[in-house]
């Protein structure tokens, strides 16, 4: 029992160094139709939506008829040269008239450096489900700030489609906060009473470890969303399963029948 407690305690104490720099990152606070702490492009009418990933609200940014629109925090984030930063969050693209790319810039006080930015190379694909995005990059030489942005574009030569955003994070790699863990905990789903396999629903590819109750590592696998880990060789009893995506880690007890 001591080893089980130790494993769970490690997972629980990893979030003591809260480093998310995005203000109002879950879009719970609004003033005059706009999320507090965010720059909204001229001409964009924001949507305060109750279709959310967590909390009460998400933020909906409509696409323009041409070009693009980018919403970003009103204050740029100071960065340290040579440090790796993670830009992540959740989006819902359930419209055929808009698409999305995450769009961070590392900058000096006056200009985009145009290199080593954590920016999406692909557009979002229509889906009725919330999707997770995550990218990392090293702050290049002369960078003083980062400007993480959420950029929408017209799709099928039509604008005014709305992309929803929630739980947006920007942080130094290897750190996390209570809210990060809570979001990851909610997103990770798998059966805890098992027979032949454990099937996972994950926000991103993760490392799945299975431990015996005395703390011995039984198996370790890299698992994609929708993937499974075989438990056929395990004897009946209790185990601890950890899921680690490199930034967040959660642990749960499973029972093999």
Q: How far apart are CA 50 and CA 43, in angstroms?
A: 22
The CATH number linked to 215 is 2.60.40.3080
Q: Are residues 40 and 163 in the same domain?
A: yes
Q: 161 lies in a domain?
A: yes
Residue 2 scores a pLDDT above 70: no
Predicted pLDDT of residue 15: 35
Q: 110 lies in a domain?
A: yes
Q: How far apart are CA 225 and CA 220, in angstroms?
A: 16
Q: 182 lies in a domain?
A: no
Q: Are residues 35 and 147 in the same domain?
A: yes
Helices (H), 55-205: 178-187
Q: Give the DSSP per-residue string, 163-206.
A: EEEEEEEEEETT---HHHHHHHHHH-EE-SEESSEEEEE-SS-E
User: Strand pairing of 249-256 and 193-194?
Assistant: parallel
Q: 230 lies in a domain?
A: yes
Please give the residue that has the higher pLDDT: either 176 or 78. Answer: 78
Q: 22 lies in a domain?
A: no
For tokens 């947006």, the residue is 168
Domain boundary among 175, 203, 218: 175
Q: Are residues 150 and 194 in the same domain?
A: no
How many domains does the chain fold into?
2
Lowest model confidence (mean pLDDT) among 9-13, 149-153, 168-172: 9-13
88-110 pLDDT tens trace: 899 999 999 999 999 999 999 88
Q: Are residues 148 and 195 in the same domain?
A: no
Q: Are residues 114 and 44 in the same domain?
A: yes
Q: Are residues 45 and 159 in the same domain?
A: yes
Q: Are residues 130 and 243 in the same domain?
A: no
Phi-psi map region of 184: left, alpha, beta (phi>0 left; psi -120 to 50 alpha): alpha
Tell me the residue range of the domain where 102 lies.
Answer: 30-175
Q: How far apart are CA 228 and CA 99, in angstroms?
A: 31
At residue 127 the predicted structure's pLDDT band, cuts being 50, 70 and 90, is very high
For the residues 42-52, what does the mean pLDDT come to? Answer: 95
Helices (H), the chain: 2-13, 178-187
Q: How far apart are CA 7 and CA 2, in angstroms?
A: 9
For tokens 């370790």, the residue is 220
Of 118, 123, 122, nearest to 146 by C-alpha is 118
Q: 171 lies in a domain?
A: yes
Predicted pLDDT of residue 3: 40
Residue 55 scores a pLDDT above 50: yes
For the residues 9-28, what does the mean pLDDT come to? Answer: 62
Q: 21 lies in a domain?
A: no
Q: 151 lies in a domain?
A: yes
Domain boundary among 175, 201, 222: 175
Other Cβ atoms closer than 10 A to 224: 11
Lowest model confidence (mean pLDDT) among 7-21, 80-94, 206-220: 7-21
Predicted pLDDT of residue 181: 65
Q: Are residues 192 and 171 in the same domain?
A: no
Of 98, 216, 208, nearest to 153 by C-alpha is 98
Predicted pLDDT of residue 139: 95
At residue 229 the predicted structure's pLDDT band, cuts being 50, 70 and 90, is very high
Q: How far apart are CA 231 and CA 211, in angstroms?
A: 12
Domain boundary among 147, 175, 203: 175
SS3 6: helix
The CATH number linked to 79 is 2.60.120.260
Q: Are residues 102 and 194 in the same domain?
A: no
Q: Are residues 46 and 125 in the same domain?
A: yes
Predicted pLDDT of residue 216: 86
For the residues 138-161, what does the mean pLDDT come to? Answer: 95
For tokens 């209790």, the residue is 238
Q: How far apart are CA 183 and CA 171, in angstroms?
A: 15
Q: Are residues 156 and 229 in the same domain?
A: no
At residue 18 the predicted structure's pLDDT band, cuts being 50, 70 and 90, is very low
Q: Are residues 153 and 218 in the same domain?
A: no
Give the single-character DSSP code of 158: B
Task: Label residues 9-46 b or e (16+ Cβ within 10 Å = b).
Answer: eebeebbeeebbbbebbbbbeeeeebbeebebbeebeb
């Amino acid at each position: 029992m001591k080893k089980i407690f130790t494993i769970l305690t490690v997972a629980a104490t990893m979030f003591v160094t809260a480093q998310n720099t995005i203000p109002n990152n879950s879009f719970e606070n609004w003033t005059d139709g706009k999320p507090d702490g965010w720059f909204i492009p001229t001409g964009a009418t924001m949507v305060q939506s109750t279709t959310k990933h967590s909390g009460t609200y998400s933020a909906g940014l409509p696409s323009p008829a041409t070009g693009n629109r980018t919403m970003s925090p009103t204050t740029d984030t100071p960065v340290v040269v040579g440090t790796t930063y993670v830009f992540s969050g959740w989006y819902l693209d359930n419209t055929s008239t808009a698409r999305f790319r995450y769009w961070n810039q590392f900058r000096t006080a006056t200009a985009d450096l145009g290199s080593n930015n954590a920016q999406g190379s692909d557009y979002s694909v229509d889906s009725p489900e919330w999707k997770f995005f995550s990218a990392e990059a090293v702050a290049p030489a002369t960078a003083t700030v980062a400007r993480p942005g959420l950029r929408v574009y017209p799709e099928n030569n039509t604008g005014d489609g709305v992309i929803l955003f929630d739980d947006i994070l920007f942080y130094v790699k290897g750190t996390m906060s209570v809210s990060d863990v809570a979001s990851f905990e909610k997103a990770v789903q798998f059966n805890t009473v098992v027979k032949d396999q454990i099937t996972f629903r994950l926000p991103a590819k993760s490392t799945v470890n299975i431990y015996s109750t005395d703390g011995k590592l039984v198996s370790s696998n890299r698992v994609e969303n929708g993937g499974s880990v075989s438990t056929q060789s395990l004897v009946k009893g209790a185990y601890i399963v950890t899921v680690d995506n490199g930034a967040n880690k959660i642990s749960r007890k499973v029972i093999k029948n």
